[in-house]
Amino acid sequence: MMKQILLITDGGSNVGESPVTAAAQAYAEGITVNVAGVVDEGTIGEYGVTEIADIARAGGGISQIVTSRQLSKTVQMMTRQTVAGTIRQAVNQELRQLFGVNDVGSLPPPKRGEVVKVMEEMEETMSLSVALLIDASASMKPKLHAVEEAIRDLTLSLQARTGRSQVSVFHFPGDSQYSYCVMDAGWHSNASNLGSLFGKIRMRGTTPTGPALLQVVDYIRETCGKIGKIELMDEPHASGGGSSEVRSDNVV
Amino acid sequence: MLRAAGRARCGVTTSSEKETLPRGTEIRGKWNGKVYRLERLLGLGSNGQVYLASAGPRVICAIKIGHEAAELQGEVNILASLDHSEKGRQPFLLDVDDAVIDGRKIPFYVMRYVPGVPLKAYLKEHGSHWMGVIGYRLLERLSHLHEAGWVFGDIKSDNILVGEYGRVELVDYGGASAIGRSVRQFTEIYDRGYWSAGSRVADPAYDLFAVGLLWLHALDGKRLVQLTRTLIPQNRHPRELMKLVKSNPKLQPVEGWIEKALTGQFASTRESTKEWREAVRISQRPKPADDRVPGWMAGLLGAAIVLSTTLAAVWLLD
The per-residue pLDDT for range A168-181, each reduced to its tens digit, is 999 998 877 677 89
- Model confidence band, residue B289 (pLDDT cutoffs 50, 70, 90): low
How far is Cα A181 from Cα A175, in angstroms, rounded to an integer? 8
Contact A105 B107 (CB under 8 A): yes
Query: Which of A56, A119, A250 faces B201 most closely, judged by CB atoms?
Result: A250
Instruction: Tell me: cis bond preceding B286? Omega within 30 of 0 counts.
Output: no
Give the N- to C-terminal CA distance of chain A in Å, as an integer.
18
pLDDT at A251 over 50: no
How far is Cα B198 from Cα A228, in angstroms, rounded to an integer? 36
A76-90 mean pLDDT = 92
Residue of B nearest to A60 (CA): B12
Residue numbers of A between 150 and 169 with CB closer than 8 Å to B: 152-153, 156-157, 159-162
| Alpha helix (H) residue ranges in chain B | 2-8, 69-85, 119-126, 131-147, 204-230, 238-246, 255-262, 269-284, 295-317
Helices B269-284 and B255-262: crossing angle, nearest 10°?
Answer: 160
CA of A174 vs chain B CAs: smallest distance (Å)? 28
Give the pLDDT of residue B8. 33
Contact A81 B8 (CB under 8 A): yes
Q: A117, B181 in Cβ contact below 8 A?
A: no
Known catalytic residues of B? 154
Neighbours of A46 (CB within 10 A): 9
- Model confidence band, residue B184 (pLDDT cutoffs 50, 70, 90): confident
Q: A138, A173 in Cβ contact below 8 A?
A: no
CA B259 to chain centre: 18
The closest of A54, A68, A78 to A4, measured between CA atoms, is A78
pLDDT at B136 over 80: yes
Q: B64, B49 in Cβ contact below 8 A?
A: yes
Give the pLDDT of residue B114. 87
Residue A60, strand partner residues? A33
pLDDT at B243 over 50: yes
How far is Cα B43 from Cα B161, in angstroms, rounded to an integer? 12
CB pairs below 8 Å between A and B: how many?
Answer: 93
* Residues in A touching B74 (Cβ below 8 Å): 116, 120
Residue B105, strand partner residues? B100
How far is Cα B144 from Cα B299, in angstroms, rounded to an integer? 52
Provide the percentage of residues in chain B whose pLDDT is more than 90: 66
Residue B43, strand partner residues? B50
Residue of B nearest to A71 (CA): B4
Model pTM? 0.83
CA B12 to chain centre: 32
**Chain B residues touching chain A at CB-CB below 8 Å:** 1, 4-5, 7-12, 31, 68-71, 73-74, 76-77, 80, 96-98, 105, 107, 180-184, 188, 193-194, 199-202, 233
pLDDT at A111 over 80: yes
Q: Which of A3-7, A120-124, A248-252 has the highest mean pLDDT?
A: A3-7
How far is Cα A116 from Cα A121, in angstroms, rounded to an integer? 8
Can you tell me whether residue A148 is helix, strand or coil? helix
Q: B182, B154 in Cβ contact below 8 A?
A: no
The closest of A236, A234, A221 to A28, measured between CA atoms, is A221
- Model confidence band, residue B270 (pLDDT cutoffs 50, 70, 90): very high
Helices B238-246 and B255-262: crossing angle, nearest 10°?
Answer: 170
CA-CA-CA-CA torsion sign (B217, B152, B46, B25): negative
Residue of A nearest to B30 (CA): A108
* Residues in A touching B184 (Cβ below 8 Å): 80
CA B67 to chain centre: 26
